[in-house]
Amino acid sequence: MAQVSSSVIEELKNAIRGQLVLPEDSNFNDARSIWNAMIDRRPAMILRCAGVADVRRAVAFARDNNLPLAMRGGGHNIAGSALCDDGLVLDFSLMKSVRIDPVARRAYVEPGSTLADFDHEAQAFGLATPLGINSTTGVAGLTLGGGFGWLSRKYGMTVDNLISADVVTADGELLRASAESNEDLFWAIRGGGGNFGVVTSFEFALHPIGPMVYGGLVVMPLDQARDALVKYRVAANDMPDDLSVWAVLRLAPPLPFLPAEVHGKPVVIFAMCYTGPTANGPSAVAQVKTFGTPVGEHLGEMPYAMWQQAFDPLLAPGSRNYWKSHNLAGIDDGLIEALLQSIQNLPSPQCEIFFGQIGGQTQRVAVDATAYSSRDTLYAMNVHGRWEDPADDERCIAWARAFFDSAAPFALGSVYVNFMTQEEAGRIADAYGPNYERLVAVKSRYDPHNLFCHNQNIRPAT
């Protein structure tokens, strides 16, 4: 890192409306902590931006002083791209505005907003857009990587609902990216991550959802998982777009609707959300109960915003996390056998493997319509290693990698970029498939010197 003099730092402090947090400040360690406790990086400074003027100033400061530059929205990214060592972190925790236009059905969202912030405002009008499944996730990072959640089968990927964005580029310009202006940039940010600039505002299309939906959990013992998963993959072919059913294999958490003797035992959990008329909910999810003999279930009407938060306790910040992921077109018999073997050897009570069912509308969009290219994906499979003690790192990481390797023959070869860990640079071309070369061209145009490189980096051609 280039050395930055105290007078230059003081000049930056005086030029911004937000806060500059330095290593000697008492709140520095809190400011550099992010969701994945495995990431331990020490930036030279953290700038909590108050608005676009601060962002432009910070980008110019990093560029002119040859500083590494990272961007922190929700700080949730598994790879820890929100932080860099010895550089400048743009922290958007002060920029959390969400403004809803209920007549036009549009949301205008700043980059520090979380899914909870978004849902809180949009659900006041019975509106939503497809986002993730953990309410503390940042809207910005989720969106820039593609984004999917419970509403994606009905309304597509998050990026399919992005109408426009304001982007500060490497040269400090503020550009509006949309289908009508800077179209190449708009195409690239819809899945290409933070490679092309800093998005300071997102405009999303909204859809009538809730405020009540029907859903919940159906839990079956592991000895029924093989048959249950076979029935699940058959049923998935005919599920309506307004029903999304995910399969999760893990040790049963101590949920109140499960008998005590099931707690801590391996189970298969079917988690589902039905967004049609709630009166039709019981019939819409009835088939799931026939996948086996449930040891417990918790189904009913609930606020959509509450369902969006249902998995927060299992995904709280501060634990050590390591993920490996594949995109799948189906769930093969061979994959099921490898899966059952892996679940019988869980290295920690918090580890799990899930199949996030998407398909539906996500598959009806052309591969080259957005930078996100994995339109043949029916399930995004994630091996989620999660534990507390650093002494368990090696064992838990080895478990995740072993199942990832055994699952590879049954996968598409592509990967959801938001699920990639920090050492997976070799998979970036796989994540973008046929769109990769076009992304390199857009990167070369907007960021030829690779200022925005603390991400799953698309390197410019020069």
pLDDT digit string (tens) for 307-356?
Answer: 999 999 989 999 999 999 999 999 999 999 999 999 999 999 999 999 99
- Nearest alpha carbon to residue 71 among 145, 149, 147, 164: 145
365 and 222 within one domain: yes
Of 74, 91, 108, which one is at a domain's C-terminal end?
A: 91
Task: Domain of residue 35: give its range.
Answer: 7-91
Q: Is position 329 within any domain? A: yes
Half-sphere exposure at residue 46, Cβ-oriented, CA atoms within 13 angstroms: 29
Average pLDDT over residues 452-457: 97
Residues 247 and 179 in one domain: no
Rounded CA separation 45/90 (Å): 9
Give the CATH number of the domain where residue 180 resides. Answer: 3.30.465.10
Report whether 182 contacts 176 (CB < 8 A): yes
Q: How many residues does the chain have?
A: 462
Residues 245 and 137 in one domain: no
Identify the pLDDT of residue 69: 98
CB 225 within 8 A of CB 340: yes
Cα–Cα distance list, 410 to 65, 289, 363, 417 (Å): 47, 27, 19, 19
Burial class (CB in 10 A: 0-12, 13-18, 19+), 452: buried
Q: Are residues 232 and 357 in the same domain?
A: yes
| pLDDT tens by residue, 149-178 | 999 999 999 999 999 999 999 999 999 999
CATH number of the domain bearing residue 256: 3.40.462.20
In a domain, 236, yes or no: yes
Establish if 460 belongs to a structural domain: no
Model confidence over 313-325: pLDDT tens digits? 989 999 999 999 9
- C-beta atoms surrounding 156 within 10 Å: 24
pLDDT score at 2: 65
**Is residue 364's pLDDT more than 60?**
yes
- Strands, DSSP E only, in 53-93? 69-72, 88-91
Q: Please indicate, yes or no, whether residues 26 and 162 belong to a single structural domain of this protein.
A: no
Contact (CB, 8 A) for 418 and 141: yes
Task: Provide the domain count of the chain.
Answer: 3
Residue-wise pLDDT tens digits, 405-414? 999 999 999 9
Name the helix (H) or strand (E) containing 239.
Answer: none
Shared domain for 230 and 359, answered yes or no, is yes
Other C-beta atoms closer than 10 Å to the C-beta of 272 total 24
Domain match, 173 and 245 both: no
| Bridge partners for 133 per DSSP | none
CB distance 100 to 127 below 8 Å: yes
Domain containing 61 — which CATH number?
3.30.43.10
Residue type, 49: C
238 and 314, same domain (yes or no): yes
Same domain assignment for residues 284 and 158: no
Radius of gyration of the CA atoms of the chain, in A: 22
Domain annotation covers residue 230: yes
Please state the rounded mean pLDDT for residues 406-433.
Answer: 96
- Over residues 214-240, the pLDDT tens digits come to 999 999 999 999 999 999 999 999 999
Confidence of residue 3 (pLDDT cuts 50, 70, 90): confident
pLDDT digits (tens, 9 = 90+) for 177-212: 999 999 999 999 999 999 999 999 999 999 999 999
| Percent of the chain topping pLDDT 70 | 100
308 and 387 in a common domain: yes
Per-residue pLDDT at 462? 76
Q: How many CB atoms lie within 10 A of CB 100?
A: 20
Q: Do 262 and 398 belong to one domain?
A: yes
**Which of 2-6, 83-87, 110-114 is the least confident region?**
2-6
For the residues 125-133, what does the mean pLDDT come to? 97
Place of tokens 């539906």: 360
Does residue 229 sit in the same domain as residue 346? yes
Domain boundary among 91, 111, 144: 91
**How far are the Cα atoms of 78, 116, 153, 217, 265 from residue 297, in angstroms, in the given order?**
30, 26, 23, 6, 16
For residue 440, being part of any structural domain is answered with no
The answer as to whether 437 is a domain residue is: no
Query: What is the pLDDT averaged over residues 13-32?
Result: 97
- Encode pLDDT of 383-412 as tens digits: 999 999 999 999 999 999 999 999 999 999
Q: What is the mean pLDDT of residues 5-13?
A: 94
**Is residue 377 in a domain?**
yes
Q: In b/e form, how buried is each residue of 424-443, taking b as 16+ CB within 10 angstroms?
A: beebbebbbbebbebbbebb
In a domain, 318, yes or no: yes
The whole-number pLDDT of residue 276 equals 97
Measured between alpha carbons, how far is 29 from 176 in angstroms, rounded to an integer?
A: 35
Name the domain boundary from 40, 68, 91.
91
Give residue 75's pLDDT. 96
| pTM metric for this prediction | 0.97
- Per-residue model confidence as pLDDT tens digits over 239-257: 999 999 999 999 999 999 9
pLDDT at residue 278 in the model: 97
